Chains A and B, each alone.
Chain A
Amino acid sequence: MELDLLIKLGLELGKIVVIAIVVLIFMMVAVLYMVLKLRWVIARIQSRLGPNRTGPWGVLQTAADALKLFQKEDIIPCGADKWLFTIAPAIVFIPAYLVYVVVPFGSGLTAQSLNVGIIYLSAISSISVIGIIVAGWASNNKWSLLGAFRGASQLIAYEVPTILAMIIPVLITGSLDLNEIVSSQGGGIWHWNLFHLSGWPMLPLAFLMLIIAGLAEINVAPFDIMEAESELVAGFNTEYSGMKFALFFLAEFAESFTLSAIVVTLFLGGYQPPLHILGGQLTGLAFSAVSLFWFMFKCWLMVLFIMWVRSTLPRVRVDQLMNLSWKALIPAGLVNLLLTGAYVVFWMPK
């Protein structure tokens, strides 16, 4: 009898471990593809060719780069704090991976749907700033330290607008569970939070805020002042090389996929098809497959949008960046919050 229970428990644990590994592999493949796509897109926008030599059309370029990084010598500067220097990439990478626990990839395709999904999301994703500070400080390098300080002020400034934007769909839906937020948007494109007429104009404003603040949270251009190449060499990861640098890189791109996933989940209907006839009538496994396709398709469009933004807009200055958050986004977010609250209590149809 006890043996039975143990076997059951073991199977359950094994299942979760398999899911965790599948998600990890998905993340790797997504990052490899996104790096390649980014280089193609930016090359296209700048009228260059981009990677086209390694493998057909250059598709093996990032895999080759990863292999190269894997066998590169790992240099720890003599002045650095050796242990903190080694731990920092892990502190940045592990939260970036942990966020994927709650991402609803499709109907029934969530590693674990948490009833505090959005709190979990914002709590975990803000851990990585600690890793950035640790990396900058442990390097004992002035560029790294400056980059880390800038990064910390930027990330804490944009944490609040992100939360104020994510809370609007929560108010309208009445749930913190990402899966419930997605299922409330089913039935066609006009039910998605962004296009839902009854949530106008609070939801589109929150959408805009989430994209701006999210771009700053994942520190891509135009908000990449913490690793501004022309000012700080490479910011907090100046001294990093080899596999440790690769972990930072991996985390950065994983976060940019996460941002797309959050925007899609909260505002663009998550895994719901845009029209009911495009998969909405299916059930069970078939719907899971179709919804996975739609989620990935929307995320892919979102990722392309981020790449377009980062290759088009010039970098903002530090003071502009801080002003934008504290003097524009946060007041707007607070007003938006109260408006949405009043709307939900007094006007929203039941």
Chain B
Amino acid sequence: MLAKDFLTVAIFMIVGIAFVTITLIAAWVIRPYRPSAEKRGTYECGEIPTGPAWLQFRVGYYIYALIFLVFDVEAVFLFPWAAQLLKFKTTNHALAVLGFVDMVIFVAVLAVGLAWAWKKGVLEWK
């Protein structure tokens, strides 16, 4: 059953890849190809480009990315918990209460982390 479910996803992916490939190839057959130095130059608002763009760059969201990672991993735990809580409530109420308390602790730990980052000033975009 599960395998069949994801077979559909796989087939959608194949159809998507086929669509992209076919349109790109068809456009490649139809379109003209007359390159020139100006056309192939990097666009910098009409100026002659100064140096490549592949240089060391101050990644301002480095800390954001770290915090995001924590929260995104959290989401992986949240979804199964959210889907099961109602079922536990009807079958075993004590377990549901326990699950809720666990989630309060879990979110509190995350919130402390977020508050720390906030206080530390890493959530300021500079």
Contact = CB atoms under 8 A, between A and B. Distances in A.
Nearest to B35: A75
Interface in A115-147: 115-116, 118-120, 122, 137, 139-145
A50 B43 CA distance: 29
A93 B20 contact: yes
A249 interface: no
Contact of B96 (A139, A337, A345): A345
Contacts of B90: 350
A23 B37 CA distance: 42
A149 B59 contact: yes
A338 B15 contact: no
Given A71-B27, A111-B12, A78 B79 contact: no
Chain B: interface residue count, which band?
Answer: 35 or more
Interface of B: 5-9, 11-13, 15-17, 19-20, 23-24, 26-28, 30-35, 37, 39-45, 49, 52-54, 57, 59-61, 64-65, 67-68, 71-72, 75, 78-79, 82-87, 89-90, 93, 96-97, 99-100, 103-104, 107, 110-111, 114, 118, 123-125
Name the prevailing secondary structure of the A interface residues: helix
B123 A243 contact: no
Given A24-B19, A153-B64, A243-B23, A71 B30 contact: yes
Kindly state the interface size class of chain A when it binds its partner: 35 or more
A344 B90 CA distance: 11
Nearest to A112: B8
A94 interface: yes
Contact of A97 (B7, B12, B85): B12
Contacts of B20: 89-90, 93-94, 247
Contacts, number: 214
A326 B75 contact: no
Contacts of A350: 89-90
B48 to A, nearest CB: 12
Contacts of A120: 9
A173 interface: yes
B9 A79 contact: no
11 contacts: A20-B12, A71-B27, A71-B32, A78-B37, A78-B40, A174-B83, A239-B43, A334-B110, A341-B103, A341-B104, A344-B89
